[in-house]
Structure 1
Amino acid sequence: MQRERTNETSLRVVSKEKDSIIVEMINYDNTLLRTLVEEILKDDQVIEARYYIKHPIIDNPQIYVKVKSGKPQAAIKRSIRKLSKLYEDLGAQVEKEIEKYRSNHIIKTTE
């Protein structure tokens, strides 16, 4: 399918079998998809996970996931939840460090 020309991200199920799924990732960055596939591969129920792009200019990337048991879309959801939690924790840690930096670098003035 030809690449959509908007900035909005979405996805579309291209095909679905009992133990596998192919999902087209519309307007997603390769960096994000690589991280997602790496997380999916950590799942014990996953046999295979990869993403590919037929043509880098006209096609959207697709993710393929095959599982031993369970639903392949569940493996994707589990991985997204784990990454979401990871980035949420990272964001909180950055905020904490910024506050610590600010409190240690306040310029004290005397009147």
Structure 2
Amino acid sequence: MELQLLDKDKDSIRIQLLDADMTLVQPIINELIKDEGVDEVRHITGHPELDLPVLSIKVNNGKPQTALKRAAKTLSNEYKEALENLK
């Protein structure tokens, strides 16, 4: 999955998701929703054949890109632990 920055403010960010699969996007959204510093998370899909999905994150404190990194790191650790348990 590739991310493309569309818009950035001090408390919000909009990212276009290229080659996004909901099996990856949904866990990220769920982690962002759990984050107390995140005020709003929106996943805008638009037309399935014409539009690329957009992830919009708004925070009430901190930076939105930091919240996204935190969510990705948490998921990475969870999947790493699951992989180790399978071995």
TM-score, scaled relative to structure 2: 0.94
Q: d(CA) in 2 for partners of 1:48 and 1:25?
A: 18
Higher RCO (CA-CA < 8 Å; seq separation 6+): 2
1:52 pairs with one of 27, 44, 51: 44
- Aligned residue for 2:47, secondary structure, equals coil
Structure showing greater radius of gyration is 1
Deviation at 1:59, TM superposition (A): 1.8
Gaps of 5+ in 1: 1-8, 96-111
TM-score, scaled relative to structure 1: 0.75
Q: Would you say how many aligned residue pairs link Structure 1 and Structure 2?
A: 87
Q: CA RMSD in A?
A: 0.9
Partner of 1:4: none
- Aligned residue for 2:35, secondary structure, equals coil
Partner of 2:82: 90
Could you tell me which amino acid in structure 1 is paired with residue 65 of structure 2?
Q
* Percent identity (aligned): 36
Could you tell me which amino acid in structure 2 is paired with residue 26 of structure 1?
L
Gaps of 5+ in 2: none
Check conservation: 1:34, 1:51, Cα contact below 8 A. no
1:15 pairs with one of 2, 7, 23: 7
- Aligned residue for 1:40, secondary structure, equals helix
Comparing both structures, which one devotes a greater share of its residues to strand?
A: 2
